[in-house]
Amino acid sequence: PHAGPVESKNEAAMSELVPEPRQKPVVPMKPMGINANLLGYIGIDTIIEQMRKKTMKTGFDFNIMVVGQSGLGKSTLVNTLFKSQVSRKSSGWNREEKIPKTVEIKAIGHVIEEGGVKMKLTVIDTPGFGDQINNENCWEPIEKYINEQYEKFLKEEVNIARKKRIPDTRVHCCLYFISPTGHSLRPLDLEFMKHLSKVVNIIPVIAKADTMTLEEKTEFKQRVRKELEVNGIEFYPQKEFDEDLDDKTENDKIRQESMPFAVVGSDKEYQVNGKRVLGRKTPWGIIEVENLTHCEFALLRDFVIRTHLQDLKEVTHNIHYETYRAKRLNDNGGLPPMAAETEENHESNL
């Protein structure tokens, strides 16, 4: 009988502790269909045209590197690719020039215009690569050059008073020329691609494909693909960077059927069936460079220029450059040290 009032007090205390039931939040009304029909023309579709005009004014940068032994037709192929004299040899090369004892890097810039679109093309040649008796570590100057361009871009990017448009000298694409032996890749080929596939987009190319029969060419292509797979060498387009199913389907076809491109280059024109064509004259006929039954040059050109040029630039910026940037800033514990000149400039600006 004495416990009654105590229990009632506890109950009262409990009821004070129990929070009042919370009101359910008001659920906002669902917006009208996102793809609702507009009542009139707004002009959203002109954004594409605005972007086009802006990029047309600024133009494009594209930097292509060619790597391979002397005599594989690197200069000729680059000239054929852009249908103009853009290679090192075409730009005042001296025939008496000796093979360099170490790998040299020679970059030549051109401005090419087509249909009102300007492209600042830089062709980076690597004379001396693979030409020595001892080719140990001969890829190091090339790797150093690629990283130097990333460093140059990074230094411009972290400046306080940075340029509105940073000059882009980064290597967007590296055409690696494989000798048409018909057997297998050399240890040098494998070592180069192992080291550089991590820092640049490598596109393997079988040079002078007219030296092999069609059967030899098909077998050699399959063997090269197999060797690259066994050695874990990733070439462009890399599988992990396919953004959607359409890209994957298209790139899988290129990886499984076209790579490496077996090509023939020529900057000479011949008359074939009343048409002027780029080709190579042989005792048994003319090899037409742009004829797919003769070689895969047209596939390479379409791949590098017409379908994947922008993607090559994006992968360079978003993957290879970002990897370099993150490593560089981590190692340095922050921003890279600036040169004395830039520090003085910044002080005067402040």
Amino acid of residue 165? R
- Summarize the confidence of residues 285-311 as an average pLDDT: 85
Q: 287 pLDDT band (50/70/90 cuts)?
A: confident
Q: 334 pLDDT band (50/70/90 cuts)?
A: low
Strands 60-67 and 117-125: parallel
Q: 27 pLDDT band (50/70/90 cuts)?
A: low
Residue 80 CB burial class (10 angstroms; 0-12, 13-18, ≥19): buried
Tell me the HSE value of 316 on the side-chain side, using a 13 A CA sphere. Answer: 25
Neighbours of 242 (CB within 10 A): 16
Q: What is the pLDDT of residue 349?
A: 47
Does position 78 have pLDDT exceeding 60, yes or no?
Answer: yes
Q: What is the pLDDT of residue 340?
A: 44
Q: What is the pLDDT of residue 98?
A: 63
Does position 213 have pLDDT exceeding 50, yes or no?
Answer: yes
Does position 91 have pLDDT exceeding 70, yes or no?
Answer: no
Q: 29 pLDDT band (50/70/90 cuts)?
A: low
Domains and CATH numbers, the chain: 58-263+296-332 (3.40.50.300)
- Which H or E element spans position 117? strand 117-125
φ, ψ at 79 (rounded to 5°): -60, -40
| CA dist list (Å): 110 to 79, 200, 316 | 12, 22, 21
- Summarize the confidence of residues 200-218 as an average pLDDT: 88
Q: What percent of the chain has pLDDT over 90?
A: 17
Report the mean per-residue pLDDT for the chain. 80
Q: 154 pLDDT band (50/70/90 cuts)?
A: very high
- Summarize the confidence of residues 235-260 as an average pLDDT: 83
Q: Which of 202, 225, 230 is nearest to 319 (CA)?
A: 202
Q: What is the pLDDT of residue 30?
A: 55
Q: What is the pLDDT of residue 180?
A: 87
Q: What is the pLDDT of residue 24?
A: 54
Q: What is the pTM of this model?
A: 0.78
HEC string of 119-160?
EEEEEEECCCCCCCCCCCCCCHHHHHHHHHHHHHHHHHHCCC
Q: For 120-142, what is each residue's pLDDT tens digit?
A: 889 998 887 887 777 888 888 89
Q: What is the pLDDT of residue 279?
A: 79
